[in-house]
Amino acid sequence: MVTVKEVPPDTFIEVLARYLKENVPQVKPPEWALFAKTGPHKERIPDSPDWWYYRAASILRKLYVSPEPIGLETLRTIYGGLQNRGSAPPHFRKAGGSHIRKILQQLERAGLVTKAGNRGRTLSPRGRSLLDKLANEVFKEVVKVIPELEKYGSGGKGK
| Interval 88-108: pLDDT, tens | 999 999 999 999 999 999 999
Q: How many CB atoms lie within 10 A of CB 21?
A: 18
**Residue range 58-64: average pLDDT?**
97
Instruction: To the nearest 10°, report the CA torsion of 117, 121, 122, 125.
Output: 80
**Residue range 39-46: average pLDDT?**
93
**Residue range 40-50: average pLDDT?**
93
**Residue range 26-49: average pLDDT?**
93
Q: What percent of the chain has pLDDT over 90?
A: 83
Angle at alpha carbon of residue 98, lines to 94 and 73, rounded to 5°? 45
The domain limits of the chain are: 4-152
pLDDT above 50 for 1: yes
Could you name the CATH architecture of 4-152? Orthogonal Bundle (1.10)
- pLDDT confidence of 159, banded at 50, 70, 90? very low
**Residue range 134-150: average pLDDT?**
85
Return the percent helix, strand and coil in the chain, to nearest 5.
50, 10, 35
Q: What percent of the chain has pLDDT over 70?
A: 94
Q: Encode pLDDT of 115-139 as tens digits.
A: 998 999 999 999 999 999 999 999 9
- pLDDT confidence of 154, banded at 50, 70, 90? low
- For the chain, the average pLDDT equals 91
pLDDT at residue 158, as a whole number: 42
